[in-house]
A and B are shown apart, each in its own frame.
Chain A
Amino acid sequence: MSTLEIRELQVSVADKEILKGVNLTVRAGETHAIMGPNGSGKSTLAYAIAGHPKYTITGGQVLLDGVDLLELSVDERARAGLFLAMQYPVEVPGVSVSNFLRSAVTAVRGEAPKLREFSKDLKNGMDALAIDPAFATRNVNEGFSGGEKKRHEILQLELLKPKIAVLDETDSGLDVDALRVVSEGVNRFRASGETGVLLITHYTRILRYVKPDFVHVFSAGKIVEEGGPELADKLEAEGYEAYTKASA
């Protein structure tokens, strides 16, 4: 059973401190929602954990089963069992979805999947997320709509089966149907009870489909309040005003 421990994490972007000491532990079987106003540093947390070069770690640790992810390269973190579903997945010209997915699965599993097995997994995964099979031959994210990009992210989540998944505003820009499809994918992923989910969102809407065990409110680079699912209901009713005022 895996555990992600974020300890006193401090992160800067271009010499500006964004995260000011974040503490959070996500265990397998748990779903944590991080909620907060725009600009509070939620996405910075996601990208810093994944190792995006734009973010500079100035203090703290991020341990996955005791291994400090911050010491690892981006790809090593992914192979260690971390997954980041991105808010704005980039287009990669000339690289087909099937080639990309096969390369990723091979890298994460440490061996190439059998072609027949992989084709079957891919087809099932695409069917479950209502992705047109023709996408397999298209270039990664190229010309995908916002919803298609998000479904493609969740397809990767289901194929790569990480220990801990960080979902960065996966719900943004989705209509209700797409949100349901994507949420079902996340729920399939966490159904085993052996994986942890860190769900970053601005809105409570997705939490009706993906029920969190814990809710953390993020403001000005820190967690300022923690609680159970009821905290999300409070935010739904009252908004973030109380927190943004407090930090100002």
Chain B
Amino acid sequence: MGLNEKPLSTLHEKSSYNLDDFSVPTGREEKWRFTPLSRLKGLHDGTAEVTGQVVTQAYTPAGVSAEWVGRDDARVGQAYAPTDRVSAQAYNAFEKALVVTVPKEAVPAEPIQIELRGGGTAGVAYGHIVVKVEPMAEAVVVLDHQGSAVYADNVEFVVGDGATLKVVSLQDWADDAVHVSQHHAQLAKDATFRSFVVTLGGDLVRLSPSVSYTGQGGDADLSGVYFVDAGQHLEHRLLVDHSTPNCKSHVDYRGALQGEDAHAVWIGDVIIRVEAEGTDTYELNRNLILTDGARADSVPNLEILTGEVAGAGHASTSGRLDDEHLFYLQARGIPADQARRLVIRGFLGQLVDKISVPELRERVLAKIEAELEK
């Protein structure tokens, strides 16, 4: 590197709409090394037959439009270009994209519900969703995934100047589902983005939320909870790319794991580029390992290319339930299994409290509760 050149990010990802720009992963690549490729059912190597179905329906409050558009619609791929093989595969294979638009300054009274229902694991399905929140508008979007499917999709969140978008994405799939998904949020000047990811179901879920900023004052908060049971592989890969000055990001993902071969992967990449002075970022991942045989891989990467940051930090912890917590509750007569549930619910529930819409918070808590009762 010459003295006049800016340092380049090593986390910077290649992005392209062209499938041929991505070779078929072998499992040795950094971004694929944790994912069991053999369980992807051909999503990564082009062998999958596109005969599967995920029925997607949008329920929109007054003033919000939802339309199905062709691949050539100008709004598709505007905010995001694929950064890995499966994402590129999905981008090149979907038939129609769902475009949801919240008009300028609109504040819909109700959340926008997008239901995705898998119709089985014979054959794969691809999807593409664009949620566009125009300047100064405020909206809440729920993505609710259920059923069986082998599904890969890209979701673009385009948040305009001064707009606010809150997303809750529930991966509540059946046990045999495979889901590989990219959620990309592009934040304009003074935009606010809140993402809350809840991943409970599925044989393999690999969800990659990413954020980019096109103006100053952007504020992104990415939270997630996951509960991994025996045999499940639940992977979350976050990338926040700070390329404009004075933006914020906060990442907090928490998971509980139990059972043989329960596997959680969390990758938290944050880039603060040379031009992104005044960035304030923190990322955190915590795993609660409830039994032997479960495994959590947690890899935070913070790449700072400027000396002028407001704050930058990360933390990662994985551990067992605290004996002292259990002792305290049991010493008050609360039976061991109930004490355990209280502590786990508390650990995840603290994060759920960040969901500002009460009905959604209750819904997420109910899902976690159901998972704990299993």
Binding site for B on A (CB under 8 A): 50-53, 73-75, 77-79, 83-84, 86, 89-90, 92-95, 99-100, 103-104, 107-108, 139-140, 156, 160
Give 9 A-B pairs besides A51-B327, A104-B332, A160-B332 with Cβ atoms closer than 8 angstroms.
A74-B327, A75-B333, A86-B331, A90-B328, A92-B329, A92-B343, A93-B346, A95-B343, A160-B333
A28: shortest Cβ distance to chain B, in Å? 19
Contact present for A94 and B347 (CB under 8 Å): yes
Contact present for A108 and B346 (CB under 8 Å): no
| Chain B 321-354 interface residues, beta-carbon cutoff 8 Å to A | 322-325, 327-336, 338-339, 342-343, 345-350
B123: shortest Cβ distance to chain A, in Å? 42
Task: Tell me which of A83, A86, A94 contacts B350 (CB under 8 A).
Answer: A94
Contact present for A75 and B350 (CB under 8 Å): no
Contact present for B346 and A84 (CB under 8 Å): no
A52 vs B330: C-alpha distance in the bound complex, in angstroms?
Answer: 10
Q: Which residues of A contact B350 (CB under 8 A)?
A: 93-94, 139
Contact present for A92 and B325 (CB under 8 Å): yes
Contact present for B332 and A108 (CB under 8 Å): yes
Q: Which residues of B contact A93 (CB under 8 A)?
A: 346-347, 350
Nearest residue (CB) in B for A104 is: B332
Asked, given contacts A75-B339, A79-B333, whether A52 binds B346 with beta carbons under 8 Å apart, the answer is no
A97: shortest Cβ distance to chain B, in Å? 12
Asked, given contacts A53-B323, A99-B342, A103-B342, whether A92 binds B334 with beta carbons under 8 Å apart, the answer is no
Q: Which residues of A contact B332 (CB under 8 A)?
A: 78, 100, 103-104, 107-108, 156, 160
Q: Which residues of B contact A156 (CB under 8 A)?
A: 332
Binding site for A on B (CB under 8 A): 322-325, 327-336, 338-339, 342-343, 345-350
Contact present for A104 and B325 (CB under 8 Å): no
Asked, given contacts A93-B350, A94-B347, whether A100 binds B331 with beta carbons under 8 Å apart, the answer is no
Asked, given contacts A93-B347, A94-B347, A139-B346, whether A103 binds B338 with beta carbons under 8 Å apart, the answer is yes
Nearest residue (CB) in A for B345 is: A94
A92 vs B349: C-alpha distance in the bound complex, in angstroms?
Answer: 12
Contact present for A92 and B346 (CB under 8 Å): yes
The winner among A51, A93, A108 for most chain B CB atoms within 10 A is A93
Q: Which residues of A contact B347 (CB under 8 A)?
A: 93-94
Q: Which residues of B contact A92 (CB under 8 A)?
A: 325, 328-329, 342-343, 346
Q: Which residues of B contact A86 (CB under 8 A)?
A: 328, 331
B244: shortest Cβ distance to chain A, in Å? 35
Contact present for A95 and B346 (CB under 8 Å): yes
B321: shortest Cβ distance to chain A, in Å? 11
A108 vs B333: C-alpha distance in the bound complex, in angstroms?
Answer: 6
Asked, given contacts A52-B327, A86-B328, whether A95 binds B333 with beta carbons under 8 Å apart, the answer is no
A89 vs B335: C-alpha distance in the bound complex, in angstroms?
Answer: 18
Q: Which residues of A contact B330 (CB under 8 A)?
A: 51, 73-75, 78
B223: shortest Cβ distance to chain A, in Å? 14
